[in-house]
């Protein structure tokens, strides 16, 4: 059996899973030390399900802890940001376009060194090792404990980042090193930003991983534990300690994957309707489709592998106007319990509409008796049309897909949707995040520019698939279960030899014991 | 009056340049940050109206050449284009009194601003494409008799090549070869000309136009007005005087391929909101031609801009996706881009299209 835990800003949730069956789920407030909340919720779920410690094969944890630390600018280390790319890249120094307060918190210790590669693997310049030795002295003198190293086109070849790491580690014993090729893809500033953010979390990641370990030990759980990353796959505790930034935005991914498991499908659209918005994401082979657009975290531009989620201003608290023809995007939000008509307020919301239509029995029904039938009917039409259009917009083909409805606002959808093959409302949806963590798999990815000249596309793709599978195996996947889940080819304009950027992702089940 | 640019102007410029890029030209983000960096250092960017240039002013345009996909990874040193300009000055034995964009669409709207700020040179508020085009010879400068050569192409080392040929297409072809050796992205100075030649051959006031377009879209959104309607209302005050929404709908098919270094593609948009049938748009880096049920509705060099219906953001061709709700706006280009000489260089035939150029005013009368 497996345990899935979701450590959120407010609540820590836990589920016990037996294969794909949910044996039980609990919630408990998140505590400042993290481990307290985990211990509490785990004790609860174990006593309710009467499971024995020895039945537990693995524990999977999802957390927003690291994202929150950056957003709140708390518990962050000062970072040496080392860039390999001179004489190129000088035009925009590291941390350009960062919010001033975050850059100041991290100390703006930026260094630029000769090095880096071209798109085809040639060197821009040989690595300037003498300059790195000087920088090592600066790092010691300034008392910095963590370094972010980013080299131009390191997703094509990582040799310079590795060599620079070796030099700095030799010179500064105990230095914590983050390498950009382990974190991001092509897109220099975004990858460098993510690497610097990773480096500033080095202390916190060690503490959080220790407290996870402590909480499990206190309960006598000896099974290995893993942490979920933003693409819905797992990392070992050792990897999380080094690359905490990869947990950013794992929440939406876990929630979507959890919903899919509950609904029993791998190809679907997940619609999470909250109080203010509906967030729609697409699952392909059980994984969220990833966004191609840059994502801001704490005001910093990154290119993380984030689920592509489209939000539309429709939730349980959305305002209804124009006799039901216009809804949202504004919402009464958390004030729904005193502003909506059925709760004694004076604002006509979507929740009032479903009560007036007799579809739900919430609050005081008599307070919506005056709403005209034409308004109710128009508002229901508008709400369904909004969901249907958003789902349709996220689809990658015209074929109908099942739609999984989760979230407190899912009561708004009572009819079939024209774009959906069926509408599924799973049980246990409130702990979908923890379930998503529990069922996470192990992945490997490559993302690189290939020249298709003098070789065949198939040969290049086969090589890329092999490499991605090998990475999944190295990360702990059971080789017998590894499969390719995503292939993306983007031809690059103006370059010779039909240069093509190829991204391949492989995943497999965690090899337990 | 010369005008200096501030931070908001740069944000507006990036948005307007993306609109004028008609799907191509590269994301202006890196270029915008480089100009912003200059402002943060206390430097300034001064625009000069072409009408205010002395006839004997000496203008050297500057630009990036190559793959925008490389530029986002191999950030420039910021000195490459300056080096090209200086090398060309030495070669010609004459100092530039201003620089100028060759292409207002996309990232190349920003490169001359960096050069101008660093060297204290004014930037002429004009360009030679009036939009984005895939090749260097597709310039009104060349159309009206200014040779592209001598052209200087430089890398981050300040290494450079001087290219001379009487044929602008040959200049393009040779420079592209050098660009690839330089890592797929390099920086050029070319089409050196006098102030009198700028007035005769450049499309005037396109930098300030891009800023106005960006500002118009931004302000309309902030004030909850319809941004696309606001934009169409602005156009009659400009040289791009005629704009129409030619289609709205949803992208239902999208095909891409690369041939000879160009991103080719085709999208199909199923109509809604009173637009029947389906629109097909052909792409060669930029949007080239829009047809509805086989009938041409807009054609290059007129602008065909695909915008997100909800956010009114122009969508670059590499970010097009199935399911997007889009509004297609077609805009007339200035008269000097529609003469027989101009169409011979960047009209439909130059892109291998069989259809003749027909102005948007004729295809979509008011």
Mean pLDDT confidence for A370-392: 94
Interchain CB contact of A391 with B (< 8 Å): no
Mutate to test the interface with B, among A83, A89, A91 (most CBs of B within 10 A): A91
- Residue-level pLDDT at A200: 97
pTM: 0.87
Q: Is A299 left (phi over 0), alpha (psi -120 to 50) or beta?
A: left
Q: Is the predicted pLDDT of residue A454 greater than 80, yes or no? A: no
- Least confident range of A109-118, A285-294, B18-27, B102-111: A285-294
Nearest to A397 among B70, B258, B322 (CB): B322
Q: Is B37–A96 a contact, with Cβ atoms under 8 angstroms apart?
A: yes
Distances (CA, A) of A141 to A144, A165, A171, A201, A280: 8, 18, 12, 21, 50
> How confident is the model at residue B261, as a pLDDT?
64
Give the distance from residue B74's alpha carbon to the nearest chain A alpha carbon, in angstroms.
Answer: 6
A115 touches B at CB < 8 Å = no
Q: Model confidence at A494, in pLDDT bands (50, 70, 90)?
A: low
ipTM of this complex:
0.91
Q: What are phi and psi of B303, to 5 degrees?
A: -80, 135
Alpha helices in chain B (DSSP H): 7-20, 29-40, 68-71, 80-92, 111-119, 140-143, 168-181, 195-201, 206-222, 227-234, 340-346, 360-363
Q: In this complex, do B184 and A494 lie within 8 Å of one another by their Cβ atoms? A: yes
Which pLDDT score, from 0 to 100, does residue A251 have? 78
Q: What is the mean pLDDT of chain A?
A: 89
pLDDT at A446 over 80: yes
The side-by-side arrangement of strands in the sheet containing A146-151 is: A109-114, A80-86, A146-151, A176-179
Quick one: closest CA in B to A153, which residue? Answer: B73
Higher pLDDT, A178 or A31: A178
Interface size, chain A vs chain B, as Cβ–Cβ contacts under 8 Å: 125
Which one is predicted more confidently, A334 or B27? B27
With an 8 Å Cβ cutoff, are A496 and B180 in contact? Answer: yes
Q: What is the pLDDT of residue A269?
A: 93
Q: How close, in Å, is residue B350 to chain A by CA atoms?
A: 18
Say what the pLDDT of residue B253 is. Answer: 85
Tell me the average pLDDT across A261-278. 87
Across the interface, whether the CB atoms of B69 and A186 are under 8 A apart is answered: yes
**Res A495: pLDDT:** 66
Picking from B75, B156, B256, the nearest residue to A189 by CB comes out as B75
Instruction: Please name the member of A85, A292, A491 whose beta carbon is closest to the beta carbon of B256.
Output: A491
- Mutate which of B37, B66, B73 to test chain A, going by most A C-beta atoms within 10 A? B73
Question: Is A457 touching B (CB cutoff 8 A)?
Answer: no
- The DSSP 8-state label assigned to residue A123 in this structure reads B
Contact between chains at B183 and A124 (C-beta distance less than 8 A): yes
Is A494's Cβ below 8 Å from some Cβ in B?
yes
A397-408 mean pLDDT: 84
Alpha-carbon Rg for chain A, nearest whole angstrom, is 25
Beta carbons within 8 Å of B328's beta carbon, 6+ residues apart: B245, B246, B247, B248, B269, B279, B281, B290, B298, B304, B305, B306, B307
Per-residue pLDDT of chain B (366 residues; tens, 9 = 90+): 679 999 999 999 999 999 999 998 888 999 999 999 999 999 999 999 999 999 999 999 999 999 888 899 999 999 999 999 999 999 999 999 999 999 999 999 999 999 999 999 999 999 999 999 999 999 999 999 999 999 999 999 999 999 999 999 999 999 999 999 999 999 999 999 999 999 999 999 999 999 999 999 999 988 888 999 999 999 999 999 999 999 999 888 888 776 666 778 899 999 887 888 999 999 988 999 999 989 999 999 999 999 988 788 899 887 887 778 899 999 999 999 999 999 999 999 999 999 999 999 999 998
pLDDT for A124-141, tens place per residue? 999 999 999 999 999 999
Which residues in chain A have their CB less than 8 angstroms from residue B252's CB?
A: 398
Question: With contacts defined as CB-CB under 8 Å, which chain A residues touch B27?
Answer: none
Whether A513 has a pLDDT exceeding 60, the answer reads no
Q: Which of A37-41, A75-79, A137-141, B315-319 is predicted least confidently?
A: B315-319
C-alpha–C-alpha distance, residues A223 and A473, integer Å: 20
* A393·B325 Cβ contact <8 A: yes
B75, A88: Cβ pair inside 8 Å? Answer: yes
Residue A289, pLDDT > 90, answer no
d(CA A462, CA A398): 29
Confirm or reject contact between A9 and chain B (CB < 8 A). no
Q: Give me Rg for the CA atoms of chain B.
A: 19
Closest chain A residue to B317, measured at CA: A493
């Amino acid at each position: 059996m497996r345990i899935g835990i979701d450590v959120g800003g407010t609540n820590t949730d836990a589920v016990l899973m037996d294969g794909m069956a949910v044996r039980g789920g609990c919630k408990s407030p998140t505590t400042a030390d993290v481990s307290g909340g985990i211990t509490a919720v785990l004790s609860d779920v174990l006593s309710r399900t009467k499971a024995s410690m020895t039945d537990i094969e693995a524990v999977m944890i999802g957390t927003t802890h690291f994202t929150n630390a950056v957003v709140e600018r708390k518990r962050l280390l000062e970072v040496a940001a080392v860039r390999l790319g001179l004489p190129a890249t000088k035009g925009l120094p590291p941390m350009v376009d960062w919010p001033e307060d975050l850059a100041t918190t991290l100390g703006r210790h930026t260094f630029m060194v000769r090095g880096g590669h071209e798109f085809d693997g040639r060197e821009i310049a040989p690595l300037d090792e003498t300059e790195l030795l000087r920088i090592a002295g600066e790092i010691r003198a300034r008392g910095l404990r963590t370094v972010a190293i980013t080299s131009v086109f390191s997703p094509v070849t990582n040799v310079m980042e590795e060599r620079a790491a070796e030099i700095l580690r030799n010179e500064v014993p105990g230095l914590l090193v983050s390498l950009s090729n382990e974190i991001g893809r092509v897109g220099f500033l975004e990858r460098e930003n993510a690497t610097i953010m990773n480096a500033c979390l080095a202390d916190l990641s060690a503490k959080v991983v220790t407290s996870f370990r402590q909480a499990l030990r206190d309960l006598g759980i000896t099974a290995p534990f893993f942490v979920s990353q933003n693409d819905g796959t797992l990392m070992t505790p050792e990897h999380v300690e080094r690359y905490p930034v990869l947990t950013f935005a794992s929440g939406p991914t876990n929630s979507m994957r959890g919903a899919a498991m509950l609904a029993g499908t791998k190809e679907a659209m997940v619609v999470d309707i909250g109080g203010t918005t509906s967030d729609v994401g697409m699952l392909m082979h059980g994984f969220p489709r990833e966004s191609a657009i840059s994502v801001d975290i704490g005001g910093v531009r990154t290119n993380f592998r984030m689920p592509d989620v489209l939000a539309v201003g429709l939730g349980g608290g959305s305002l209804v106007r124009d006799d039901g023809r216009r809804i949202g995007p504004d919402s009464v939000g958390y004030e729904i319990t005193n502003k909506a008509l059925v709760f004694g307020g004076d604002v006509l919301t979507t929740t009032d509409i479903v009560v007036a239509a007799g579809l739900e029995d919430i609050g005081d029904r008599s307070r919506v008796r005056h709403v005209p039938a034409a308004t109710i009917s128009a508002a229901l039409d508008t709400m369904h049309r909004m969901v249907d259009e958003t789902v349709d917009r996220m689809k990658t083909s015209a074929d109908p897909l099942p739609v999984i409805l989760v979230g407190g606002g899912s009561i708004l959808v009572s009819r079939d949707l024209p774009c959906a093959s069926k509408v599924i409302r799973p049980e246990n949806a409130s702990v979908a995040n923890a379930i998503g963590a529990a069922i996470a798999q192990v992945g490997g990815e490559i993302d690189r520019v290939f020249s298709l000249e003098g070789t065949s596309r198939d040969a290049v793709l086969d090589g890329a698939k092999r490499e991605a599978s090998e990475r999944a195996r190295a990360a702990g996947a059971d080789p017998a279960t590894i499969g390719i889940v995503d292939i993306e080819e983007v031809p690059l304009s103006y370059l010779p030899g039909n240069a093509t950027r190829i991204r391949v992702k492989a995943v497999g089940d965690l090899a337990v014991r | 009056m010369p005008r200096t640019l501030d931070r908001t102007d740069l944000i507006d410029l990036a948005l307007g340049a993306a609109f004028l890029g008609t799907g191509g030209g590269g994301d202006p983000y890196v270029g915008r940050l480089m100009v912003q960096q200059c402002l943060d250092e206390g430097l300034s960017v001064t625009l000069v109206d072409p009408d205010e240039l002395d006839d004997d002013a000496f203008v050297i345009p500057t630009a990036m050449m190559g793959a925008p996909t490389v530029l986002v990874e191999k950030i420039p040193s910021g000195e490459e284009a300056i080096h090209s300009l200086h090398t060309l000055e030495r070669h010609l034995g004459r100092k530039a009194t201003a620089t100028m964009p060759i292409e207002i669409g996309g990232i190349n709207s920003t490169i001359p601003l960096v050069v101008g700020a660093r060297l204290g040179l004014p930037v002429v508020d004009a360009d030679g494409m009036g939009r984005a085009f895939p090749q260097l010879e597709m310039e009104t400068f060349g159309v009206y008799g200014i040779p592209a050569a001598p052209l200087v192409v430089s890398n981050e080392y300040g290494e450079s090549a001087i290219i001379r040929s009487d044929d602008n297409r040959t200049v393009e072809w040779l420079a592209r070869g050098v660009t690839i050796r330089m890592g797929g992205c390099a920086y050029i100075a070319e089409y050196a000309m006098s102030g009198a030649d700028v007035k005769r051959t450049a499309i005037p006031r396109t930098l300030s136009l891009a800023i106005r377009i960006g500002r118009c879209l931004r302000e309309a959104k902030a004030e909850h007005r319809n941004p696309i309607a606001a934009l169409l209302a602005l156009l009659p005050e400009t040289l791009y005087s005629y704009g129409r929404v030619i289609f709205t709908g949803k992208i239902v098919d999208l095909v891409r391929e690369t041939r000879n270094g160009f991103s080719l593609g085709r999208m199909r948009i199923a109509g809604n909101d009173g637009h029947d049938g389906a629109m097909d748009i052909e792409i060669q880096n930029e949007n080239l031609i829009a047809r509805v049920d086989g009938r041409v509705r807009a054609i290059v060099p007129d602008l065909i801009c695909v915008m997100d219906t909800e956010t009114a953001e122009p969508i670059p061709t590499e970010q097009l996706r199935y399911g997007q709700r889009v509004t297609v706006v077609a805009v007339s280009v200035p008269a000097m881009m529609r003469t027989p000489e101009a169409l011979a260089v960047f009209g439909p035939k130059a892109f291998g299209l069989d259809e003749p150029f027909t102005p948007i005013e004729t295809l979509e009368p008011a």
